[in-house]
Structure 1
Amino acid sequence: MTLATTTRSETTKQFTTSMWWILAIVLLAYVGFTATVLGFVFSASATGALGDGNAPRIPEDGLPSLLYSTATAVGYVFPLLIGTLMVTSEFRHKTLTPTFLATPRRATVLGAKIVVGLLLGLLYGVVGVVAAVGPSAAFLSGYGIETGFTSSDTWALLGRMLLAYVLWVFIGIGVGALVRNQVGAIVGVLVFTQFLEPVARAAASFVDGLDDVTKYLPGAASDALVGASVFSISTAQTGVANTPLEWWAGGLVLLGYAAVLVVAGYLTSWRRDVS
């Protein structure tokens, strides 16, 4: 089978299951709720409407991009999960056996997953952007703060967010190809993204020089690619100067993670026999 034929088969396989739209709904709800809360708090704080009016204000400059970046800052785990599930569910349910019988060239099968992963990344990216931008822009406008829609920088930011979602799906595919066990892969993804990296990045906010290492972590690289992150609010108050990567460097680092994981997964477990 050719790559085009395998891609059509892979597309049917992925979109006839319920997992993709269940995760998309959870992504919409999770990012939407987070953006709603932060949109209210940050907008009210920036205008002095929060508390007694004497509390420190968040500068309005850059506030739109900060709120819009919620889609990637807190939502990146969802494209990572769907990419991982694209592969590990095949190992778990033994559907790779007939796939490899129909397409003996396993690199073609993995390539088809990457193509479909691109589509899913864009789809999840649109969902995440809508969930973050909708409530954020509503609160910004309601409090009389510029939404930034007239600026090309805002649209470039949204475009980089879509790119980040695609790269996270690719990373997930690499993780799934490398770690066959679905439970182990999902637990590993959640532990790293929700605990290990956040703790390491928080520590870098207090330890001078540690940021030189943590800025190359995938989450930090993703934030650098996007160009904004709500994570910067907590680190800006510590007194330790954290210098993120340039957006293009963050993209290359994230792409590097994806390439290394996909190649490592292909060279190891992907080429082994499927029991």
Structure 2
Amino acid sequence: MSLIAATRSETTKQFSTSMWWVLAIVFVLYVGSSAGALGFVFAASASGSLPGEAPQLPASEIAPVLYSAATSLGYVFPLLIGTLLVTGEFRHKTLTPTFLAVPRRGRVLWAKLIASVPLGVLYGALGVLATVGPSAALLAAYGLDTELDSTDTWAMIGRMMIATLLWVFVGIGVGSLVRNQVGAIVGVLVFTQFIEPIARTAAAFVEGMTAVTQYLPGAASDALVGASILTMASPGGTGESLEWWAGGLVLLGYAAALLALGALVSWRRDVS
């Protein structure tokens, strides 16, 4: 079977189950509600509408942080969908007929990557709509600049799309390396929701530690996008951060390394 035929088959498998759209709905609800809640607080703070002695945030920094919530808070969703695309096949043994039809297993992995591009673009677009829409509405309601007329904003949105796609690739790499679906999901959640956030927060209090944590996948993704709620909330500001292109290369490097390890270590083993 040719790569084109294998890619067509992988695309059909991706969209033949409810997994992709169920996770997409949860993704939109999560990042949309998060951006809306943060937008209300940040916009009220910047406009001086909060009661008491609440600190007043600089208005110029709010829009990028709110818009980037799709990647800074929601990157776990494209990571999970990429992981599930592979581990689901190991779990349900659907890789067996696939490998019988396409004996070259490396071609199957390439077909999965190519077929996942539309899914990554779709998740990126949904994330942008879910965060930019409510955030811009709240900023406008409080009389603050939405910055939607700025080329920098649209460049950041483009980088958000790229980051989302790269996270899908990273997920496919994780799934190809860790065949057990439960283990892969638990590992992804533990690392993204606990280990890395704690490490990056602790780095703000330890001199020189940000020189290391800036190379973590989430930090690289934030650097690629150019804005993040985590860096804004960190004591001392953003600290050390990679250039956007370097962040993209680091995240791509994680995907490539995981895919290479998966192809060498796990992908060649028996499925049944």
TM-score of the superposed pair, with normalisation by structure 2: 0.98
Larger mean Cα displacement after TM superposition, 72-81 or 61-70 = 61-70
1:121-158 Cα deviation digits (max 9, x unpaired): 11101111111111100100001111111111000000
Shift of residue 239, structure 1, vs aligned partner: 3.5
1:97 matched to 2:78? The reply is no
Give 2:244's aligned residue. Answer: 247
1:167-186 Cα deviation digits (max 9, x unpaired): 00000000000000000000
Give 1:59's aligned residue. Answer: 58
The size of the alignment, in residue pairs, is 272
The partner residue of 2:260 within 242, 259, 263 is 263
For the residues of structure 2 that align with 1:42 and 1:192, how far apart are their CA atoms?
Answer: 28
1:198-240 Cα deviation digits (max 9, x unpaired): 01001001111110110000000000000000112221xx347
Shift of residue 62, structure 1, vs aligned partner: 2.5
For the residues of structure 1 that align with 2:229 and 2:54, how far apart are their CA atoms?
Answer: 19
For the residues of structure 2 that align with 1:31 and 1:22, how far apart are their CA atoms?
Answer: 14
- Cα separation, partners in 2 of 1:79 and 1:48, compared to 1, 3 Å: same
1:35-74 Cα deviation digits (max 9, x unpaired): 010000000000000113x422110113111110101011
For the residues of structure 2 that align with 1:127 and 1:60, how far apart are their CA atoms?
Answer: 25
Unpaired stretches in structure 2, ≥5 consecutive residues: none
For the residues of structure 2 that align with 1:149 and 1:143, how far apart are their CA atoms?
Answer: 15
Q: Match of 1:271, SS?
A: coil
Shift of residue 242, structure 1, vs aligned partner: 1.1
For the residues of structure 2 that align with 1:201 and 1:239, how far apart are their CA atoms?
Answer: 12
Give 2:37's aligned residue. Answer: 37
Shift of residue 241, structure 1, vs aligned partner: 6.7
Runs of at least 4 residues off by over 6 Å: none
Give 1:142's aligned residue. Answer: 141
For the residues of structure 1 that align with 2:249 and 2:17, how far apart are their CA atoms?
Answer: 32
Check conservation: 2:223, 2:241, Cα contact below 8 A: yes
Letter of the structure 1 residue corresponding to residue 210 of structure 2: D
Structure 1 segment 1-275 matched on structure 2, within 5 A: 1-52=1-52, 54-235=53-234, 238-239=235-236, 242-275=239-272
Check conservation: 2:231, 2:237, Cα contact below 8 A: no
1:88-131 Cα deviation digits (max 9, x unpaired): 00000000000000111111110010012211111101111111
Shift of residue 192, structure 1, vs aligned partner: 0.2
Check conservation: 1:42, 1:58, Cα contact below 8 A: yes
Letter of the structure 2 residue corresponding to residue 226 of structure 1: V
- Cα separation, partners in 2 of 1:241 and 1:125, compared to 1, 3 Å: closer
Letter of the structure 2 residue corresponding to residue 93 of structure 1: H
Q: Match of 2:59, SS?
A: coil
For the residues of structure 2 that align with 1:114 and 1:51, how far apart are their CA atoms?
Answer: 50
- Cα separation, partners in 2 of 1:99 and 1:241, compared to 1, 3 Å: closer
Shift of residue 34, structure 1, vs aligned partner: 0.2
For the residues of structure 1 that align with 2:224 and 2:206, how far apart are their CA atoms?
Answer: 23
Letter of the structure 1 residue corresponding to residue 7 of structure 2: T
For the residues of structure 1 that align with 2:134 and 2:237, how far apart are their CA atoms?
Answer: 32
Check conservation: 1:79, 1:169, Cα contact below 8 A: yes
For the residues of structure 1 that align with 2:182 and 2:149, how far apart are their CA atoms?
Answer: 45
